[in-house]
Amino acid sequence: MSEKSWVADMSPGDGEAPLEATSPETLDHEDTSASSDCKGIALQEDEKGLVKPEAVEPLKPSVRFWWEIVHGAEVGFSLEYLFDRSVPWSFNAFETVLRPRETDSSTDVLTLEDRIEIIEEIVAVFEQTCPKTGNQQPHVYFRGTDVHVRLGNPVFLEALWRAHVFFKGKRMNIVSKGLNGYCVRVFEVRGLEAKRLDDARKSMQSYKWCLAVARVYEAPSLGGGPIFSGDLLVFTTYHMKKLWGRHCFCVPWCA
């Protein structure tokens, strides 16, 4: 399985509960309830010692479910980054905001020496993750004690999200993280028609979403898969009400 491969004034339709978007590691599912002892025909002896065949249930097919990016995978963000709900999305595109611990962002001011130390930490993350990127470096600016880091490089933004950026011996807080769009919101659509995953991708090519993640399934013993299950999460800057006749509703993405 390849890792790369939406606010609406309404509630979920048809009495449905919202999807629970959890980390990608917990989303794969395979039914393994069938036992290898159920293959073929079992042989048993009757009271007279004669061997007779006994019909048993056939092996139950297995089905796998997972999430996959079906629109915008080429941008380069991972499912783990998209599904992280610890911090909100930044207002500006491709921008992550950091803040030193134990400071008041409205009154404290970072000195020149402070700014140099912080930028050096950020540059170190960039050099470790993008060593062969020429003629490029992070764009850093300060508003109070908030440190805005902007760069259209998903690999670097993910590394900044994962990294321990320190200031005066303490790890800096991540206020928000960047995505490839301004003021991104996440909308959920359920109950769309199922179709082959490749056909679902083609159906979404004309949309100007940031990213779309689909719940997909496949029966490995059969051909023609994977199959788009009809459940979709859309990361977008637009206000979505309906998609292909189904209601969309906004998902509060920050826990």
What pLDDT is attached to residue 58? 76
CB atoms within 10 A of CB 121: 18
Question: Are the C-beta atoms of 95 and 150 separated by less than 8 Å?
Answer: yes
Give the pLDDT mean for 241-254. Answer: 91
Say what the pTM is: 0.73
pLDDT tens profile 149-206: 999 999 999 999 999 899 998 999 999 999 999 999 999 999 999 999 999 999 988 8
Whether residue 222 has pLDDT greater than 80:
yes
Question: Residue 215 is inside which H or E element, if any?
Answer: strand 211-218
Question: Residue 201 is inside which H or E element, if any?
Answer: helix 197-204
| Helical pair 154-162 and 112-129, crossing angle rounded to 10 deg | 120
> Which domains are seen in the chain, by residue range?
1-14+61-86+181-255 (no CATH), 95-176 (3.30.70)
Question: Are the C-beta atoms of 235 and 210 separated by less than 8 Å?
Answer: yes
Whether residue 50 has pLDDT greater than 90:
no
Question: Which of residues 121 and 254 earns the better pLDDT score?
Answer: 121
Question: Which of residues 36 and 212 earns the better pLDDT score?
Answer: 212
Is the torsion defined by CA of 81, 83, 85, 87 positive or negative?
A: positive
Of 136, 135, 180, the closest CA to residue 157 belongs to: 180
